[in-house]
């Protein structure tokens, strides 16, 4: 069968690889504690689901690209409260179906296939759609390898590379490591992009998932040449509803808006009604953060007890964990999986070996199940099957 060769170039998507292994273990009757995917297993707040329910129309019609002004005003209010940033709801904000589709679609808007400067820079390890969207758009991926503190410093990249670059992705707080760029890092990133006339796309879908300081947004630095990407998935436990927004430079928002009449991914009015009330409320993300703090405390003391070390892991609901000495990330993840603990090998998020020697956990199961999982995990370390 002749197909788009880009499809053959792609490795198995991380969640697909994990799902296969999970099914095999589940079939043997082992209870699974699933820390594999960043998909919160906690209810969506009732006031949001009620707003969605009440918005189901009698006559269903196509949604508009821009969504309602009420929604865009609600988003502008959120940006003002959270980032102190005044955005024009008419020109600087667009609702989206979550943030993944933006990560995938944005290169299609930016890349000129006929031009020689087609590079897209993104963090590695990182969220797979940055690379995948680039390939489908005919761009040239440049995975910027992160280690140590996992902070992406684009100003350290060669000038020749930046001269060939049209789009830079940053992701703070970062999946999979939880690293956070501070305001000064963001300012240097923005200045570097401006110097080379590069669109700066800042994936901020974990912006409200933190236990200590609220991470800063690129919107606190500037909007010129910037698209910030936000989502209700993790903030409000709404992964299944597909709801987010882009905000920033009015010219780029206009270009993105004109693109969006094409792919059929405009969010539904019904979901937008839920999003309108979700962005108006700061209380429910704080409730979720309280639970996150309790989970992080449990895991931190367990890691200390068994001698597991983490890197970065500042914000998000992820811990980025170094595997025990002498055990690679696949072996370690497989031993945990055998016991029912699902974690992701770090290399699932990396190209060419980035993420080696690490596993990621997503603290998405309920607190009580995190505590039960830790008992099982402790048992694995007591047996240390990798030493056999
Ligand atoms: C870094 C990053 N960006 C974007 C997304 C997509 O989230 P959604 O499309 O649900 O907003 C994810 C999901 O895990 C992610 O980790």
**Cα–ligand 1 centroid distance for 386 (angstroms):** 33
User: What is the structure's pLDDT at 13?
Assistant: 78
Peptide bond between residue 364 and the one before it cis (omega within 30 degrees of 0): no
- Please work out whether the CB of residue 236 comes within 6 Å of at least one atom of ligand 1: no
Q: Check if 96 has its Cβ closer than 6 Å to any atom of ligand 1.
A: no
The answer to whether 165 and 119 have CB atoms below 8 angstroms apart is yes
Query: Considering only CA atoms, which residue is closest to atom 16 of ligand 1?
Result: 175
pLDDT per position as a tens digit, 15-38: 888 898 999 999 999 999 999 999
Q: What are phi and psi of 352, to 5 degrees?
A: 50, 45
Which tokens is 13 given? 């998507």
Q: How many residues does the chain have?
A: 388
**Does ligand 1 come within 6 angstroms of the Cβ of 102?**
no
Q: How far is the CA of 99 from the centre of ligand 1 (A)?
A: 6
Q: Measured from the CB, is residue 98 less than 6 Å from ligand 1?
A: yes
Cα(73)–Cα(81) distance, integer angstroms: 12
Determine whether the shortest distance from the Cβ of 239 to ligand 1 is under 6 A.
yes
Q: Please tell me if the CB atom of residue 205 comes closer than 6 angstroms to any atom of ligand 1.
A: yes
Return the CATH number of the domain spanning residue range 5-43+284-387. Answer: 3.90.1150.10
For ligand 1, pick from 18, 132, 175 the residue to mutate: most ligand atoms within 8 Å of CB. Answer: 175
| Residue 166 · residue 203 · CB < 8 Å | no
Q: Which atom of ligand 1 is nearest to the CA of 38?
A: 14
Q: Are 173 and 314 in contact (CB under 8 A)?
A: yes
Going by C-alpha positions, the residue among 96, 100, 108, 91 that lies closest to residue 65 is 96
Burial class of residue 338, CB neighbours in 10 A (0-12, 13-18, 19+): middle
CATH code that applies to domain 61-282: 3.40.640.10
Task: Specify the pLDDT at position 352.
Answer: 86
How confident is residue 43, by pLDDT bands cut at 50, 70 and 90?
very high
Spacing, Cα 64 to ligand 1 middle (Å): 23
- pTM for the complete prediction? 0.97
Exposure of 52 in the CB half-sphere (CA atoms within 13 A): 18
Is residue 139 predicted with pLDDT exceeding 90? yes
CA of 273 to the centre of ligand 1 (A): 21
Q: What is the rounded distance in angstroms from the CA atom of residue 317 to the CA atom of residue 370? A: 13
Q: What is the pLDDT of residue 12?
A: 79
- Distance from the CA of 102 to the center of ligand 1, in angstroms? 10
Cα of 187 vs centre of ligand 1, distance in Å, is: 23
Ligand 1, atom 6: closest residue by C-alpha:
100
DSSP string, 104-128: HHHHHHH--TTSS--EEEEEES--T
| Ligand 1 in reach of 201 Cβ (< 6 A) | no
Burial grade of 57 (CB within 10 A; 0-12, 13-18, 19 or more): exposed
- Is the CB of 243 within 6 Å of ligand 1? no
Ligand 1 pocket: which of 124, 233, 242, 363 to mutate (most atoms <8 Å of CB)?
A: 233
Q: Is the CB of 103 under 6 A from ligand 1?
A: yes
Beta carbons of 176 and 344 less than 8 angstroms apart: yes
Q: What pLDDT score was predicted for residue 122?
A: 98
Q: What is the mean pLDDT of the chain?
A: 97
State whether the beta carbon of 244 lies less than 6 angstroms from ligand 1.
yes
Atom of ligand 1 lying closest to residue 243 CA: 11
Residue 14 pLDDT > 80: no
Q: Which atom of ligand 1 is nearest to the CA of 174?
A: 1
- Run of H or E residues at 318: strand 318-322
Quickly list H helices, the chain.
5-9, 14-27, 46-54, 69-83, 100-110, 129-136, 159-163, 183-195, 250-259, 269-280, 283-306, 329-339, 367-383
**Banded model confidence at residue 387, pLDDT cuts 50, 70, 90:** confident
Q: 101 C-alpha to center of ligand 1: Å?
A: 9
Query: In the predicted model, what is the mean pLDDT of residues 312-323?
Result: 98
User: Which residue owns the Cα nearest ligand 1 atom 14?
Assistant: 38
Calpha distance 145→201 (Å, rounded): 18
pLDDT tens per residue across span 358-367: 999 999 999 9
**Regarding beta strands 344-345 and 358-362, do their DSSP bridges make them parallel or antiparallel, or are they unpaired?**
antiparallel
Q: How far apart are CA 111 and CA 60, in angstroms?
A: 35
Output the pLDDT for position 38: 93
Sequence spans of domains, the chain:
5-43+284-387, 61-282
Confidence of residue 254 (pLDDT cuts 50, 70, 90): very high
Question: Is the pLDDT confidence value at 354 over 80?
Answer: yes
Interior CA angle at 173 toward 188 and 16, to 5°? 130
């Amino acid at each position: 069968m002749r197909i788009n060769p880009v499809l053959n170039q792609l490795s198995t998507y991380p969640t697909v690889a994990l799902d296969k292994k999970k099914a095999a273990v589940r079939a043997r009757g082992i209870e699974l504690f699933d820390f594999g995917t960043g998909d919160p297993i906690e209810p969506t707040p009732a006031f949001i689901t009620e707003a969605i329910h009440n918005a189901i129309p009698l006559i269903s019609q196509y949604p508009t690209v821009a969504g309602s002004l009420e929604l865009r005003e609600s988003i502008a209010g959120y940006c003002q409260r959270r980032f102190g940033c005044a955005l024009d709801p008419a020109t600087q904000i667009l609702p989206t179906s979550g943030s993944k589709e933006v990560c995938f679609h944005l290169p299609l808007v930016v890349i000129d296939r006929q031009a020689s400067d087609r590079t897209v820079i993104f963090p590695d390890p990182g969220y797979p759609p940055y690379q995948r969207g680039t390939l489908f758009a005919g761009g040239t991926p440049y995975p910027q390898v992160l280690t140590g503190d996992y902070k992406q410093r684009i100003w350290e990249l060669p000038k020749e590379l930046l001269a060939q670059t049209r789009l830079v992705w940053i992701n703070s707080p970062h999946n999979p490591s939880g690293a956070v760029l501070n305001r000064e890092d963001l300012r240097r990133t923005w200045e570097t992009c401006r110097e080379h006339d590069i669109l700066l796309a800042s994936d901020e879908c974990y912006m409200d998932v933190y236990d200590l300081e609220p991470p800063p947004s690129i919107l606190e630095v500037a909007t010129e040449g910037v698209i910030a990407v936000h989502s209700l998935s993790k903030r409000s436990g709404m992964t299944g509803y597909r709801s987010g927004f882009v905000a920033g430079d009015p010219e780029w928002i206009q270009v993105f808006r004109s693109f969006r009449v094409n792919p059929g991914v405009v969010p539904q009015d019904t979901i937008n009604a839920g999003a309108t009330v979700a962005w108006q409320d700061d209380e429910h993300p704080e409730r979720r953060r309280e639970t996150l703090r309790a989970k992080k405390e449990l895991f931190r003391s367990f890691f200390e007890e068994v001698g597991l070390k983490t890197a970065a892991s500042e914000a998000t609901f992820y811990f980025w964990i170094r595997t025990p000495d002498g055990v690679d990330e696949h072996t370690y993840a497989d031993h945990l999986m055998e016991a029912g603990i699902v974690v992701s090998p770090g290399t699932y998020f990396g190209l060419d070996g980035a993420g080696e020697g690490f596993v990621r956990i997503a603290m998405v199961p309920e607190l009580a199940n995190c505590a039960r999982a830790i008992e099982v995990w402790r048992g694995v370390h007591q047996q240390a099957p990798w030493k056999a």
